[in-house]
Amino acid sequence: SENIQSHATKEKDSNQVLESCEEQKKTSVGSSISLENAPTLAFPSISTADFHFNLEKASDIIVEKVEEYVNKLGNARLVLVDLSQNSKILSLVRAKAAEKNIDSKKFFTFAGNITNLYSDGGLHCNAIANVTNWRLKPGGGGVNAAIFNAAGPALETATKAKAKSISSGKAIVVPLPSSSPLFSREGVTHVIHVLGPNMNPQRPNCLNNDYVNGCKILRDAYSSLFDGFASIVR
Ligand code: AR6
């Protein structure tokens, strides 16, 4: 009976802890306590590798769009990821975000593989963005190959149920089945596919250096991505 009693006491204690967390959330939205568990989107830099988009222009657009969305998203966090600590796009964006005084608790950069952010880096992200191709097909290279591989066939099935193709500047939110290792291992509940503008002549729909159009499409891509994330946070 001692065991039962102590178990009951523990449960009561943990309920109190939960209650006091709820209190803290209510009284201090935006504090570091609530931000640690805040809904988080990890996203790679759209179009700047395989799609050859200019890094200076892309970094301006990332910071502009993050600035527009961080406050709309409540306590949710946005995290720009790339594989290497020496990533050019990460350092450009860090410098420009600091210049604009963007709240570093709500937006920061992170070096790591987008498929292992929790298991490798201890960063829990509810949603991850996948920069994909117009057919929403597994493989290719970069982020798309990595995410489809890590997520297993469940992602392909769930994606097909939502859409057969995607146009550039758009995003598609796909709830990840709990059978996917990305769900069970990393805690990712949604993959948001996004298609950016392409400046690589070897890939479909190349914009031939038309940066007027390209910048507009890249802005649309970030807006669609962040709107998609907002729709699952609410
Ligand atoms: N984790 C984190 N960041 C990554 C990872 C990873 N596993 N892999 C690449 N990056 P890219 P794009 C970074 O080429 O330019 C695909 O094959 C990378 O360093 O994946 O939009 C699609 O199917 C860069 O900063 O995307 C499309 O056909 C960023 O992620 C095409 O490539 C984006 O690199 C899309 O090209």
pLDDT in tens, 56-65: 999 999 999 9
Same domain, 82 and 198: yes
Same domain, 21 and 47: no
Q: pTM score, two decimals?
A: 0.87
170 residue type, one letter: K
Distance between CA atoms of residues 229 and 78, nearest Å: 10
Same domain, 51 and 127: yes
CA distances from 207 to 18, 32, 183, 226 (A): 53, 43, 36, 24
Distance between CA atoms of residues 109 and 215, nearest Å: 22
Q: Tell me how far the alpha carbon of residue 140 lies from the centroid of ligand 1, in angstroms.
A: 10
Same domain, 123 and 174: yes
Q: Which residue has the tokens 């600091």?
A: 98
Q: What confidence score (pLDDT) does residue 24 get?
A: 39
Instruction: State whether residue 54 is helix, strand or coil.
Output: coil
Instruction: State whether residue 53 is helix, strand or coil.
Output: coil
Same domain, 99 and 8: no
Ligand 1 atom 3, closest CA? 82
Structure tokens that stand for 64 in this block: 């502009």
Instruction: Provide the domain limits for residue 219.
Output: 38-233
- Tell me, what CATH number does 131's domain have? 3.40.220
Q: Which residues, 6 or more positions from 17, have their beta carbon under 8 angstroms from its beta carbon?
A: none
With a cut of 70, say whether residue 13 has pLDDT above it: no
Same domain, 7 and 44: no
Is ligand 1 within 6 A of the CB of residue 46? yes
Same domain, 93 and 171: yes
Q: Tell me how far the alpha carbon of residue 148 lies from the centroid of ligand 1, in angstroms.
A: 12
> Exposed, middle or buried, 1 (CB in 10 Å: 0-12/13-18/19+)?
exposed
Q: What is the pLDDT of residues 191-224, one digit of tens each?
A: 999 999 999 999 999 999 999 999 999 999 999 9
Is ligand 1 within 6 A of the CB of residue 122? no
Same domain, 6 and 122: no
Alpha helical stretches, state H, 55-190: 55-70, 88-99, 117-121, 142-151, 153-162, 181-186
Q: How many domains does the chain have?
A: 2
With a cut of 70, say whether residue 36 has pLDDT above it: no
Same domain, 12 and 103: no
